[in-house]
Amino acid sequence: MTLQLNPLHPLDALAKSCREYPGGMTALAARMGKTEATLRKELAQGVPTHRVGYDEELSTILDYLHDAGVLSWADTLHAFAYRHAHLMVPIPDVDGQEDEQLVQMVCAMVKEVGDVGGSLTSAKSDKGDGSKYISTQEFKNFDAQVEEAMAALAALRERVHAEHLAAKKAGLVK
């Protein structure tokens, strides 16, 4: 009997991704220096004798999945964030960007936030029959715009944070 995995449960999301590792769980377990049976028990809910610890286990598993190009490697992170009513976006690499790029990042961020408002306004407009609902496609468009806006904000934040740390290191600010 196979239990159906819940993609929004972090441990289930991790188990699904581990199955997609090249060579499956057998290969991943071998890379981690443990048996497949041990890894399966660690990834199963309700096995009190086997737990995945964060530092030595979860982070390592996610690194291995990412390095192997498993497309669903970040699903576990998304499930953790969702479980706690948050969304996750990757932090862009901002090292070595010029000041002009910062201005472009601000403009891109403002554009993305505007796109969110535009897609929501469009989705909430009258459908001609007096109803105002959001279709599946409209929601997908809105959701994509929200993710792009969050990524633009994260990029801007990382750039400003990097500049602040550089100024702090140079003794220019406390």
Please report whether residue 90 resides in a domain.
no
3-class SS shares of the chain: helix, strand, coil, % to 5: 65, 0, 35
- Residue 142's Cβ-count burial label (10 Å; 0-12, 13-18, 19+) is buried
Residues 6+ apart with CB under 8 A from 49: 41
What pLDDT does residue 137 have?
83
Q: 22, 48, 83 — which closes off a domain?
A: 83
Structural domain of 160: 99-169
Please report whether residue 4 resides in a domain.
no
More confident residue, 157 or 127: 157
Q: Is the domain of 71 the same as that of 114? A: no
Please report whether residue 3 resides in a domain.
no
User: Residues 26-69: pLDDT tens digits?
Assistant: 999 999 899 999 998 888 877 888 877 765 678 888 899 999 99
Q: How far apart are CA 58 and CA 52, in angstroms?
A: 6
Please report whether residue 29 resides in a domain.
yes
Number of domains in the chain: 2
CB atoms within 10 A of CB 98: 8
The whole-model pTM stands at 0.47
Say what percent of the chain tops pLDDT 70.
Answer: 85
Q: 58, 83, 108 — which closes off a domain?
A: 83
Q: How far apart are CA 150 and CA 143, in angstroms?
A: 11
For residue 95, give both structure tokens.
């090292």
